[in-house]
Amino acid sequence: MKEYSPFTPGVPVPIEFFTGRTPELTRIFDTVGKSVASQSLERIFVIGERGIGKSSLCRMALAVSEERHDVLGLHVYLGGVSSLEEMVRRIFERLLQKSRDKKWFEAVKSFLGNHIRQVGIFGFSLEFTASSNELKQSVSDFPYVLRNLLKNLEDEKKGLIIVLDDLNGLAGFPAFANWLKSFVDEVATSQEPLPLLLILSGLPERRRQLINNQPSLDRVFDLVHVKRFKEPEVKEFFEKAFSKVGVEVKKGAMELLCRFSGGHPVFMHEIGDAVFKTDEDNTIDKNDALQGVVRAAEAIGAKYIEPKVLATIRSEKYMRILSKIVKDPFEHRFSKKDISKRISGDESRVLNNFLQKMKNLGVIAQPLGTQRGEYEFTSELYALFFWLQAASPGRKS
C-alpha cells in the first residue's frame, strides 16, 4: 500500500519538510535574541506574494525560537477579523490553545482569570469569554496586559513572539494602523521592559494599505522578504519530501519538477502531490513527472486562478497571445511593442482587446514609472500558471 502524500497543497508546510529560507530565519532569530537580551519591543513585517510560504516561515521561526531563546510564540490567524477587539480575543484564545498541555498553564489561567470556558462535545477546547467592554479595555491597555502576562510566566519564559497573520480584513482599517503606531510609541516611551517580537505577515498590498492609513508605519517595521526558492532549494525540497515516503526521483524527472515549479512553494506542492499520485512503482521517471505536471496545471487553474479570468481568456487567439507573453516564467514584465513582433495578423487584431480585458480583471497592470504599453503581471501566480499552461506537454502553441 502506498504511503500518504508528503505534500500539503494550500496549507503551511509541516516543520519536518521545511526547506531553505536560512537568511530570513537568521534575521528573525537574531531579532528574537535582541528582544530578549535588551528586554525590548522589536517589529518585523514578513512580506511576499500569495502562496510564497510566509506562514510556513513564521511557523518554523516560532518553533526554533521557542527552543533556542526560551520564548513563548503565538501564531494568530486573523482571517475575517475586522475589529481590534476580535484581534485581541484571538490572541488570548491562541494563548489558551498553546498553553493547555504545558506546565505553565496554571500561570495562564491565573492571568486570564475567570474568562475561560470549555467548549465542544467533550469539552476539549477552551474559549476566551471576556466581555466586549473588557476586550476594549485590553486593546487600550495592551502593553500593560502583555507585561502582566510575561510577569505571570517569568519562571517559564524569557519573552514573547506574536505573529499576526492573514491581515486581509484589518489592514484596510485606519483604526488598526493607528493602533499599531500608538502601541509601538507607547512601549518605546514608557521605558518599561517588554521583551516582545511583533511579526506581521501579509501581502505587499496589505503593507501599502497600512502605510496609506498611517504613513509613520513605513519606518516602524523591518522587512523580511519571502521570495521564490532557488533551484538547489527546490531540489532539496523534493528530495526530502519524496525520500520521507521511500520514493526515488530519477535525474531527468527531478529536472522537470524543478523547471515547472519555478521556485514557487504553491507550485512545488501541487506538482509534487500530482506526481506522487501519478507514480505507481515508487520511482519517479520523466513520464511520471510529465503526467504530474499536466494534472498540477489543472489543479492550479481550479484553485488559484479566478474562474472569471479563465473564462474571459478561453478564446484560442487569446491563449496563443498569452503563450507568447509568458515565454519565461521568471520574466513578469512585457511590452506591447515586443509582443506585437511575435504574434500573427489575426492575433494582432485582438491584442488591444485582450490587454484591456486583462487589465480590467486585474491580471496585468502598468508598472509605476514606466511608459504606456509596458505591463507586468500583478501576481507571480498569474505568470507562473499561464507559463505552466503554455509549456505543459500536449499543450498546443
Mean pLDDT over residues 217-246, rounded? 92
What's the confidence (pLDDT) of residue 389?
Answer: 73
Q: Is the pLDDT score of 122 beyond 70?
A: no
Regarding whether 212 and 284 lie in a shared domain, the answer is no
Which pLDDT band, with edges at 50, 70 and 90, does 113 fall under? confident
What one-character-per-residue DSSP string does 269-325 give? HHHHHHHHHH-SSSEE-HHHHHHHHHHHHHHHHHHHS-HHHHHHT-SHHHHHHHHHH
**Higher pLDDT residue, 138 or 305?**
138
What's the confidence (pLDDT) of residue 68?
Answer: 93
Mean pLDDT over residues 222-237, rounded? 92
Residue carrying the nine cell digits 487600550: 140
Query: Tens digit of pLDDT for each residue in 323-376?
Result: 888 877 667 789 999 899 988 888 899 999 999 988 888 888 888 778 889 998
Regarding whether 58 and 160 lie in a shared domain, the answer is yes
Q: Is residue 1 part of a domain?
A: no
Which pLDDT band, with edges at 50, 70 and 90, does 118 fall under? low
Q: How far apart are CA 7 and CA 51, in angstroms?
A: 14
Q: Is the pLDDT score of 121 beyond 70?
A: no
* Percent of the chain at pLDDT exceeding 70: 93
What CATH number is given to the structural domain containing 63?
Answer: 3.40.50.300
CA-CA distances (angstroms) from residue 362 to 301, 335, 375?
16, 17, 12
Q: Is residue 394 part of a domain?
A: no
> Considering the chain, what is the average pLDDT of its residues?
87
What CATH number is given to the structural domain containing 336?
Answer: 1.10.10.10
* Percent of the chain at pLDDT exceeding 90: 51
Mean pLDDT over residues 183-205, rounded? 94
What's the confidence (pLDDT) of residue 148?
Answer: 92
Indicate the residue among 273, 304, 335 that finishes a domain: 304
CA-CA distances (angstroms) from residue 30 to 23, 64, 90, 157, 316?
11, 12, 27, 17, 52
Regarding whether 319 and 296 lie in a shared domain, the answer is no
Mean pLDDT over residues 96-117, rounded? 82
Regarding whether 242 and 194 lie in a shared domain, the answer is no
Regarding whether 353 and 215 lie in a shared domain, the answer is no
Q: Is residue 15 part of a domain?
A: no
What CATH number is given to the structural domain containing 239?
Answer: 1.10.8.60
Query: Tens digit of pLDDT for each residue in 57-74?
Result: 999 999 999 999 999 999
Which pLDDT band, with edges at 50, 70 and 90, does 257 fall under? very high
Query: Tens digit of pLDDT for each residue in 22-57?
Result: 899 999 999 999 999 999 999 999 999 888 889 989
Please give the tally of structural domains in the chain: 3
What's the confidence (pLDDT) of residue 392?
Answer: 62
Q: Is residue 387 part of a domain?
A: no
Regarding whether 127 and 47 lie in a shared domain, the answer is yes
Q: Is residue 300 part of a domain?
A: yes
Indicate the residue among 304, 327, 351 that finishes a domain: 304
What's the confidence (pLDDT) of residue 89?
Answer: 92
Which pLDDT band, with edges at 50, 70 and 90, does 388 fall under? confident
Q: Is residue 52 part of a domain?
A: yes
Judge whether 57 and 19 are in contact, CB under 8 Å.
no
Q: Is the pLDDT score of 396 beyond 70?
A: no
What's the confidence (pLDDT) of residue 330?
Answer: 66
Which residues constitute the domain of residue 356? 314-379
Q: How far apart are CA 264 and CA 384, in angstroms?
A: 8
What's the confidence (pLDDT) of residue 105?
Answer: 85
Regarding whether 76 and 220 lie in a shared domain, the answer is yes
Regarding whether 209 and 117 lie in a shared domain, the answer is yes
Q: How far apart are CA 289 and CA 151, in angstroms?
A: 55
What's the confidence (pLDDT) of residue 117?
Answer: 63
Judge whether 76 and 163 are in contact, CB under 8 Å.
yes
Q: How far apart are CA 377 and CA 381, in angstroms?
A: 9
Half-sphere exposure of 10 (CA within 13 A, CB side): 7
Q: Is the pLDDT score of 217 beyond 80?
A: yes
Q: Is residue 389 part of a domain?
A: no
Other Cβ atoms within 10 Å of 123 Cβ, number: 9
Judge whether 126 and 117 are in contact, CB under 8 Å.
yes
Q: Name the E strands within the chain.
A: 41-47, 72-77, 116-119, 125-128, 160-165, 196-202, 222-225, 248-249, 283-284, 333-335, 364-365, 374-377
**Higher pLDDT residue, 147 or 322?**
147
Q: Is residue 173 part of a domain?
A: yes
Indicate the residue among 269, 304, 339 that finishes a domain: 304
Regarding whether 180 and 93 lie in a shared domain, the answer is yes
Please tell me the pTM assigned to this model. 0.79
Q: How far apart are CA 236 and CA 290, in angstroms?
A: 20
Q: How far apart are CA 57 and CA 201, in angstroms?
A: 10
Regarding whether 277 and 166 lie in a shared domain, the answer is no
Q: How far apart are CA 183 and CA 100, in angstroms?
A: 28
Q: How far apart are CA 198 and CA 176, in angstroms?
A: 14
Which cell numbers in the block locate residue 9?
497543497
Regarding whether 164 and 68 lie in a shared domain, the answer is yes
Regarding whether 291 and 170 lie in a shared domain, the answer is no
Residue 278's closest CA among 268, 291, 269, 266?
291
